[in-house]
Amino acid sequence: MKRSGFSFLARPQFAALIAVLFINWLLFPGFFDITWQDGRLFGSLIDVLNRGAPVAILAIGMTAVIATKGVDLSVGAVMAISGAVAASLVVGGTASWIAVLAALGIGLACGLWNGMLVTVLDMQPIIATLVLMVAGRGLAQLITEGSIVTFSDPLLIFIGTGSFLGFPMPVVIAFVLLVGSTLAVRRTALGLLIEAVGVNRSAARFAGITSGALLLLVYAFAGFCAAVSGLIVAGDIRGADANNSGLWLELDAILAVVIGGTSLLGGRFSIPMSVLGAMIIQAMNTGILISGFSPEFNLVVKSGVIILILVLQSPLAARLFSRGHARPEPATAPRTTP
């Protein structure tokens, strides 16, 4: 596939990630140190990947939703539901693999519900998913009966804190989802059809695209990704916290997608770029934590960097940029996003 090359390395987002990592290194000289211990990798970089994985996974699902000109505000709440379902099932004595499947199934169901509201009832996505954003967290609290359900189930704990080939499980899971979903949209016609629906839903209908089924699929996938994230977060703290699991993470996920360059107006999208966006966000979070600044700075610095990245992506910057550089050959400058 010609278009899924490494052209993203030339994007401003990649430069931004390098810059953030470099600043982290200035603040904390040991930042790039990676050690091998007890059969797995340790170090700040690995931390960034590991801590960024839940948002990266949300962003993977969110990208396709936003590409259809939609948005999913409920993913944070679905994380809480997924964790709550898995935790209460294993605490109640259910086999852990069934608990995991049940949590993923509930996530899919939540996504299908959102997709139903958007396609069948033709609700605006922001309103449709707001319903589950609010109701979902309540649902999670009902499942956990208001307390934090702790567990010691090995499979759930492995999902949150285990390792595979030296990498933390969350990183491995995020990587598998990234590669799998990118291949799924670009090796099939799904990517093009999703973009067509996002660019012009009416024209998509006239062209014979069944946008209803596509939208259902896209929202269901976002729900599934949220459930995976929910399992990771629960496994990490060995408990389901319905109040805080995934709180506000839907906003980080949307931000990651936007930083990655997918427009909220729908159309062209790139899942790897969204994951890169999630990594930029996490690299800043980690940098501020390890540099010893108080976490309050985090929000301010984060917004500053985000404004900078968004300005770099704006049409104005594109004009300034293209003035100083030779224009790429139009014939070979189609979609440069993978």
Kindly state whether residue 203 participates in binding other proteins, applying the rule CB under 8 A. Answer: yes
Sole binder of other proteins in the list 98, 126, 192, 251 (CB under 8 A): 192
Q: Cβ 335 to other proteins, closest distance in Å?
A: 8
Which region, judged by CB under 8 A, interacts with other proteins, from 142-150, 154-162, 163-171, 184-192?
184-192
Please compute, for residue 62, the number of CA atoms within 13 A of its CA located in the half-sphere on the CB side: 38
As a whole number of angstroms, the distance between CA 207 and CA 78 comes to 34
Kindly state whether residue 334 participates in binding other proteins, applying the rule CB under 8 A. Answer: yes
Kindly state whether residue 124 participates in binding other proteins, applying the rule CB under 8 A. Answer: no
Sole binder of other proteins in the list 72, 153, 195, 236 (CB under 8 A): 195
Nearer to other proteins, 193 or 233 (CB): 193
Sole binder of other proteins in the list 49, 204, 227, 232 (CB under 8 A): 204
Sole binder of other proteins in the list 22, 33, 34, 205 (CB under 8 A): 205
Kindly state whether residue 331 participates in binding other proteins, applying the rule CB under 8 A. Answer: yes
Kindly state whether residue 189 participates in binding other proteins, applying the rule CB under 8 A. Answer: yes
Nearer to other proteins, 153 or 195 (CB): 195
- What residues between 135 and 174 interact with other proteins by CB under 8 A? none
Kindly state whether residue 183 participates in binding other proteins, applying the rule CB under 8 A. Answer: no
Kindly state whether residue 327 participates in binding other proteins, applying the rule CB under 8 A. Answer: yes
Q: Cβ 254 to other proteins, closest distance in Å?
A: 20
Which region, judged by CB under 8 A, interacts with other proteins, from 55-63, 76-84, 226-234, 322-330?
322-330
Binding site for other proteins (CB under 8 A): 1-3, 187-190, 192-193, 195-196, 199-200, 202-210, 267-268, 327, 329-335
